[in-house]
Amino acid sequence: MEKRKVKLDKKDWRLLYELEKNARLPLQGLAKKLGTSKQLIRYMLNKFEEQKIVQAYTAIIDSSRLGYSTYRLYIKFSQVNTPEKREEFYHFLASIPETTIVNSIDMRWDAGLIIAVQSVDAFYAVFDRIMQKRAFIDEYNAAVYSPVHHFTRSLLSPEPTNEVPAIRVMGGHEKVECEESDVKILQELAKNVRQPIVRIAQKVKLGAQHVSRRISAMEKNGVIQGYRPLLNWKLLGYSYYKIDLKLKSFSHNKELFSYCHHHPQIIQVNQTIGGGDFEFEVFAKSDAEFHSILKEILEKFSDTVINYDYFIVGKPYKETFMAF
């Protein structure tokens, strides 16, 4: 697959890495991290946005702490055999309010989507809406996420780093006590975490101090797991791979998880019911690099891995941590 890459220097990559760790860090804080001026940071951010490298600055929200469960659905198309029909189907999936992620997929499946709802009945209502197009669906697979572990993507660092990637956990938690205004605040943070508190307060019709306190409270209780940019990885020269391992037993899952956590190009581990025994996601600059990473894992854990499957995650049609 041909990629149109943008040319970035070392300072550009360093800024992307700092944003990955905390996309809400003020200009002054970013300038201090890079040893430069606020004016240059502002210029660099504007450049990232104009070049479509950064598509948004969003909050990583653990919706399970708000009473939501997360389901994943893979779909293989049937009779969707023109680019126009495929685009129409992807946009249909993205238009469903409960979907948070919608991606095209290359290889076994054609579409992958994440659905956040508060009950099994609510999930079935979304599923039933999708199944109204059953004539265009050859097969599907549904699974429950519990939970998903996002790692700080240290591959953005322009040089090797000794920093242990932070783990942002989504799913698998009890509901926490929240105020009625919290969802409105989260909806604004999901759109742009870099907007000033005063602007968020104006939009939600609350005092700035109250909004600031509620954001701090949600960071403390785990509803907000962090802040990161939504990046165009294709422009950065990366392809996105999803791997499912079939295991002899789960006895080495801790070692597998630790290996993935510390690997700079493994960005996520998913625990599922109805999916693979062990699932993880990788960014690689080429198929050869991906297969090298996969081979290394298969050799290191040859005593526990029976088989594997993988596919390439394609175009994102929807990407948010907020579906409420």
pLDDT tens digits, 60-102: 999 999 999 999 999 999 999 899 999 999 999 999 999 999 9
pTM over 0.85: yes
Distance, in Å, from the CA atom of 57 to the CA atom of 153, rounded to the nearest integer, reads 15
Q: Do residues 277 and 247 lie in contact, with contact meaning Cβ atoms separated by under 8 Å? A: yes
pLDDT > 70 in the chain, percent: 99
Tens-place pLDDT, residues 186-209: 999 999 999 999 999 999 999 999
Confidence class for position 1, pLDDT limits 50, 70, 90:
very low
Which residues 6+ apart lie within 8 Å of 300 measured at CB? Answer: 259
Q: Which 8-state DSSP code applies to residue 64?
A: G
Q: Would you state the pLDDT for residue 4?
A: 62
Residue 35 gets the label, from left (phi > 0), alpha (psi -120 to 50) or beta, of left
Tens-place pLDDT, residues 251-279: 999 999 999 999 999 999 999 999 999 99
Q: Would you state the pLDDT for residue 5?
A: 79
